[in-house]
Amino acid sequence: MKVNDLILQTVTKVVAFIILIFSIYLFWTGHYTPGGGFVGGLMASSALVLMLLAFDVKTIKNVIPFDYKMIIATGLFIAVATGLGSFVFDVPFLTHTFGHPHLPGLGEVSLATASLFDLGVYLVVVGVTMTIIQTIGESE
């Protein structure tokens, strides 16, 4: 039966972006306020799940042509690479540093290498959640 879920789809088109932005917000402010890569990643995947619910799997695959398994691998790679990067500076594995550079246009910002690691976490969480949901959704 073909269901007319126009409202859902329309709301999704708006809300998904809000959720995505919120997830990015959670991710970026994680070092200072509650949030971080894990919650951010879950939030981002919930936006994707919402889109999956409103549209069907094929459409979403066309719109977002990512292989989520590759995203898991990328995330793990970034996390390990930030750890390995500390060897370049002759310090123990996973040693992080931070600074408050003055960037043109943005003013003084706080940047920490820990955020790169958090980015890895973010990507892995998105990849894992989406892989599981997509795999289960596609079966039968």
Q: Is 111 exposed, middle or buried (0-12, 13-18, 19+ CB in 10 A)?
A: middle
Which amino acid is located at 91 in the chain? V
Q: Would strands 107-108 and 111-112 be described as parallel, antiparallel, or unpaired?
A: unpaired
Phi-psi region of 62 (alpha: psi -120 to 50; beta: other; left: phi over 0): alpha
- From residue 17 to residue 56, the character string flagging contacts with another protein as x (rule: CB under 8 A) and all else as - is ---------x---xxxxxxxxxx--xx--x----------
93-122: contacts with another protein (CB under 8 A) = 93-94, 96, 98-100, 110, 112, 114-115, 117-118, 120-121
- The alpha carbons of the chain give a radius of gyration, in whole angstroms, of 18
Residue of 23, 25, 24, 30 lying closest to 114 (CA atoms): 30
Note whether 132 binds another protein by CB under 8 A. Answer: yes
Q: Which of 9, 10, 59, 135 binds another protein (CB under 8 A)?
A: 135
Name the residues that contact another protein, by CB under 8 A: 26, 30-39, 42-43, 46, 69, 72-73, 75-76, 79-80, 83, 93-94, 96, 98-100, 110, 112, 114-115, 117-118, 120-121, 124-125, 127-129, 131-132, 135-136, 139
